[in-house]
Amino acid sequence: TGGHTTEILRLLSCLSESYSPRHYVLADSDKMSEAKIRSFEQKRAETFSESQFSLDRIPRSREVRQSWSSSVVTTMYSILYSLPLTYKRKPDLILCNGPGTCVPVCLSAFLLGLLRIKRTIIVYVESICRVETLSLSGKILYYFSDYFIVQWPDLKKKYPKSVYLGRIV
């Protein structure tokens, strides 16, 4: 969604073509991100003509301020929905930065790893908005990601297993 998409596209901006093809996963209710992504990929195709990408949509796992108990149910539904997608794509790398959408995708990849079907490296980059506290997605994925990147030093102190590279968006 919105700010998350802008941030993640900035993260992608300096990646080489080794990180290809790119599969974007969006919440079904997200209207604006698709346009931003297509615009980014179009520009990229000007430099890297072999550039490939795809877009998939999954049900949104949680609305803003949705209650805890119903969030667990909707997230589990989203994990079930994500499993076939993650199984089909078998990504080497999942890169995410915080919207609720990323939790089920990452958990489904983690599960496929446990089942020895595909080992995916999960890299989580917490949003630049998060200076002192982690988002809910961050709190969950801190334990499931291979690399957890924060953009402010306070968070690095609070979450010592995280990686601090300074501001990267």
Partner 1 sequence: FRFKDSLAEELQSADLVISHAGAGSCLETLEKGKPLIVVINDKLMDNHQLELAKQLHRDGYVLYCNCSTLVETLQSMNLSALKPFPPGQPEKFASFLDKVFGLQ
User: Cβ contacts of residue 126 below 8 Å, gap of 6+?
Assistant: 97, 98, 134, 135, 138, 148, 149, 150, 151, 155, 162
Amino acid found at 136: L
- The residue (of 2 and 84) whose beta carbon lies closer to partner 1 is 2
Could you tell me the smallest distance in angstroms from the CB atom of residue 24 to partner 1?
17
Could you tell me the smallest distance in angstroms from the CB atom of residue 25 to partner 1?
18
Could you tell me the smallest distance in angstroms from the CB atom of residue 101 to partner 1?
18
- The residue (of 10 and 57) whose beta carbon lies closer to partner 1 is 10
The CB density around residue 157, as the number of other CB atoms within 10 Å, is: 11
- The residue (of 83 and 121) whose beta carbon lies closer to partner 1 is 121
Supply 66's token pair. Answer: 């949705």
163 pairs with which residues across the strands? Answer: 149
Residues found near partner 1 in the complex (CB under 8 A): 2-3, 6, 10-16, 18-19, 92-93, 121, 123, 125, 127-133, 135, 147, 149, 152, 163, 165-169
